[in-house]
Structure 1
Amino acid sequence: MKKLWLDIGNTRLKYWITQDHEIVEHGAEMHLQSPADLLLGLMQHFKKLNIQSVGVSSVLDLGSNQHIRQLLQRLKVPVICAQVHAQYAGLSCGYDQPHQLGIDRWLQVLAVAQDPSKNYCVISCGTALTIDLADGLQHLGGYILPNLYLQRDALIQNTKGIKIPDAAFDNLQPGRNTIDAVHHGILLGLVSSIEKVLATSPRELVLTGGDAALFAEYLQAYQPRVEPDLLLKGLQYFFSQHPDNKA
């Protein structure tokens, strides 16, 4: 049985096709603020795959999500859109108003926080760097920081007379020129923030997102676990626990 999983973020649309719990196809494209148009272009391809069900994670507004759902109904299969709940599958949300928590963060915590005896720190190293904490099945809330590139862009825009071209975030040593000082300083700040959180409250560290491997290199003391498809795992778990799931 083939299933389609969609992750619609602020800038990119990702999809996975799974069969018998194995990923058989994966794609990711920038949607340029028009995810529905991008999805429309993919629909013919999805129709040919004999998809049996669809699971969706979307950070878009209500109107955009309704449009996405209408498009997916053309596949004539069950469509389940993940939502943040005050409590779901035993996991309690730490936000006072659960709907304000990003669905991507919720699914990533849901993917790992299934053992009441363990404490977790789940970090997504994507467009923003998000940190979520969970004690057993209780989500505690978290932190959102600008990622490496957002911080660099802010410096470029707000620092007169200093040109900061792209360069590698490759070490934490003091920079011996302005370009290295910027890149090493930004990386140091984010790594130090993570270390502060972990020092305050030791817990199992799970990293995901495009820069997860980079941060793992500097957080080896905490034995990080890198999970490239953590959101997919959370979406699959959400789907498996959903009362309307007939798969």
Structure 2
Amino acid sequence: MSDTGSGSGTRDIDLVRVRYVDHEGTERLVRLEEAVRVPIEDGRTVRSIPSYRDQGHMPGRYWAATLGDFVEYESYLESKWLMLLDFDSDVISFATQPLEFDAVDGLGAWQHTPDVFARRRDGSVLLLDVKNPELRDEPKVQRQEERTLRACGRLGWDYAMVSEPDGQRWVNIDLLSSARRPLHLGEELAPRLLKLAHRPVAIGELLSFMQFPDLARGVLFHLMWFQKIVTDLDRPLRDSTMVKTAEGPRV
């Protein structure tokens, strides 16, 4: 991501502190460099998500298979990115409204609470801000993006400001998400589906081997959500779509 700021004040961050709330509910304020050792994903939100009549966005709660618990989100757009993180096999934990940067630079004091904190399997961090695409070109949004990017750079964290996810991939993952909860009915079908998909096979053909194809479809989608059976998710999912048991199933 390229630098968008034009003033030296945003290029040299003089002081950045991080405010977070630990898992016991205690608010803490640490120097930026100390935050790298904090398990932010285990803490509580640093601010409550407002919900009121006629507000311009739709807050709610997303049930995350990765966590086995609900995560609050501030908008429907944000919920899409929670689902994408939930599907990402490299992500082991994530949290919303996770921390606040409290900083001073050459342009003055600033505070910012990013939308999502994600911890990857290798210990690395991804911080996301989810923005309405209509607001992306506003100077204050670009300044916020630059400041947050530079703070994350000092921490060794990845940072991105995102808007709408890729259309077709999102549609497919949204479809598979309907089967992300633990299997109960049809659980016994999973081993046979995995065996039958050992070599590439069309979804329709795979389901034709099953006594109850509608039930088996839900089990197949569950296996695909957990990436035990894989396909090209950048193309529409149809009965003609080729799928195959993964070489290294998600753990």
Q: Same fold by TM (over 0.5)?
A: no
Using structure 2 for the length normalisation, give the TM-score.
Answer: 0.29
Structure with the bigger percentage of helix:
1
